[in-house]
Amino acid sequence: MSDSGRLVTDFGHNDAIPYFLWDRNVTVGRLREALLDRDDPQRIPLLRVLLREARPDEVWKFVRPQTVARDWADISPGLGRRRAFWEWLLGAWRAHGFLP
């Protein structure tokens, strides 16, 4: 059965749309593709939506903490009220040696 065009919380189907991208026509497959390509113009905007709208445990299904830490300066301006949470989390991981 195809999940094409359906909002999902199970990200195992590349043609489905993640619930946190409800207002965009971006599938799981397209999201993964954009996040892997550092030259994709949608990469940073999609990272921002991911960190702003998805549950924190779901973020790691798409990116690694090292990626978020590396690109923080570009990502952080678009996080709104979620920015403080991510700053706290990245800071704690750095303090414990999990991130450089």
Predicted confidence (pLDDT) at residue 1 exceeds the cutoff of 80 = no
Helical pair 43-53 and 28-36, crossing angle rounded to 10 deg: 120
d(CA 62, CA 12): 11
Q: For residue range 43-84, list pLDDT tens digits in order.
A: 999 999 999 999 999 999 999 999 999 999 999 999 999 999
Q: For residue range 29-38, list pLDDT tens digits in order.
A: 999 999 999 9
- Taking CA 81 as the corner, what is the angle to CA 36 and CA 12, rounded to the nearest 5 degrees? 35
Spatial CA neighbour of 27 closest among 41, 47, 43, 7: 7
